[in-house]
Amino acid sequence: MASHTEALKTADGISLKLSLQRSLRRKKRNALLLVAPLFLFILVTFLFPIFDMLLRGVENSITEEILPTTVVVLADWDPALGKLPEEEVFKAFTVDGQIAAKAKIISRLGKRLNYEKSGFSSLFRKTGRKLRKFDPEKLTSTYKENLIKIDKKWGQVETWALLHRESGSYTKSYYLAALDLTQNAEGNIEWKEADSRIYIDLFIRTLWLSCLITFLTILLGYPIAYLLATLKSKTSNLLMILVLLPFWTSLLVRTSAWIALLQKEGVINDTLVAIGIISDDSRLSMIHNSTGTLIAMTHILLPFMILPLFSVMKTIDPSYVRAARSMGATGFTAFRRVYFPNTIAGIGAGGILVFILSIGFYITPALVGGVDGTMISNFIAYHISTSLNWGLAAALGAILLALVLALYILYDKLVGVDNMKLG
């Protein structure tokens, strides 16, 4: 059969098998060319930034760049012995520090080490000012005594232990800080002080609020989607406009509207006081806390739950429920045993969409959340734009990404991504 196929030729005398292979290659090439722009777009705008973020969470070349000689001679020193480094280390630091001070870059290293321990920024600025005027020929004491004279912290083992720990090209300090852990002078990893632990609680709060928002959108969105799917097309289309209407308004405007509604002197509290449900002295506190975040984000993300549910419900044949009713099932039983199982795919699609969107929200929690309603994304934005601690922001983002991927894998194992539909 194969030899017969090979013997066949096209009109231009080429083997039919060869012609089919060329045609298949052309189709694959054309398909690749069509996909290439999208692939390049994702690569440039998504994969490269994620890789850069992961790299920033461990990158730590600044010490080697500013104190190259000091890093080499300090590598042989063991902080666990509890003794200060040798004179050679102090001399190397003085030489490197003077060069960095004259180049006005020594404060960058102080700022980096200040992320690990408060006070290092001022220590390096002060030392830089002194070293800029330092003349080795006029030195009447040892380099060690001279540095300790500049600041007593240079006579502490903890100072050199931190410099020794952060002298490598890569560091785990950002990830430790993101998990409320720290590394002591001996190199042992331990928990931070109780009043300094904030990020673990933030991760837990973010996951809890995201799950609760997802549950509330399902609870509120399911009957709305059911109504839209069962009404006549003319009425359903009219109501669908109301569902899509929030997309025509800025997210910032919608969040600001909730500020006017939820504050103690806002519309909701005024209405409750006017109809006598609460007194004027006991107005509800619904803003600058987790309640405000919960209400505002549920409203904002509700359409993202309604639309997948509606698209799935619209495909369910009404005759299924009628058949169940005709066989003696009550309305609730027919709904529970027939209709609801067919909508699980829509719940899964809407649920994972709302959860992933809510876990990364930061504008709404920043405006209405206050201290108790902020999420981990707010602190990532803070470290990127205000504290400029990009390494910690990258570590927090990477941990959040890992959590989302872990939950997605768990969802796939328990529910199955293949069972998720948008229609």
- Is residue 192 exposed (0-12), middle (13-18) or buried (19+ Cβ within 10 Å)? middle
Quick check: 135 and 146 in contact, CB under 8 A? no
| Per-residue model confidence (pLDDT) at position 80 | 82
119: left (phi over 0), alpha (psi -120 to 50) or beta: left
Q: Can you spell out the DSSP letters for 153-213?
A: GGGSHHHHHHHHHT-SSB-SHHHHHHTTEEE-TTS-EEEPPGGG--HHHHHHHHHHHHHHH
Provide the percentage of residues in the chain whose pLDDT is more than 90: 27
pLDDT digits (tens, 9 = 90+) for 291-350: 889 999 999 999 999 999 999 898 888 888 888 888 888 888 888 888 888 888 888 889
Name the CATH code of domain 199-419 (choices 1.10.3720.10, 1.10.8.60, 3.40.50.300, 1.20.59.10). Answer: 1.10.3720.10
What pLDDT digit, counting tens, does each position of 44-92 carry?
888 888 888 888 888 888 999 999 999 999 988 888 888 899 999 999 9
pLDDT band at 206 (very low <50, low <70, confident <90, very high): very high
CA–CA distance, 157 with 174 (Å, rounded to integer) = 22
pLDDT tens track for 121-139: 999 999 999 988 888 888 7
Look over the chain and give the mean of its residue pLDDT values, rounded to a whole number. Answer: 86
Cβ atoms within 10 Å of 355's Cβ, excluding its own: 21
pTM reported for the whole predicted model:
0.81
Residue range 23-36, pLDDT digits in tens = 888 888 888 888 88
pLDDT band at 1 (very low <50, low <70, confident <90, very high): very low
C-alpha to C-alpha distances, 284 to 180, 220, 267, 289, 348, nearest whole angstrom: 34, 23, 12, 12, 34
Phi/psi of residue 15, nearest 5 degrees: -55, 135
Q: Which pLDDT does position 13 carry in this prediction?
A: 65
**DSSP single-letter state for residue 289:** S
In this prediction, residue 200 carries a pLDDT of 92
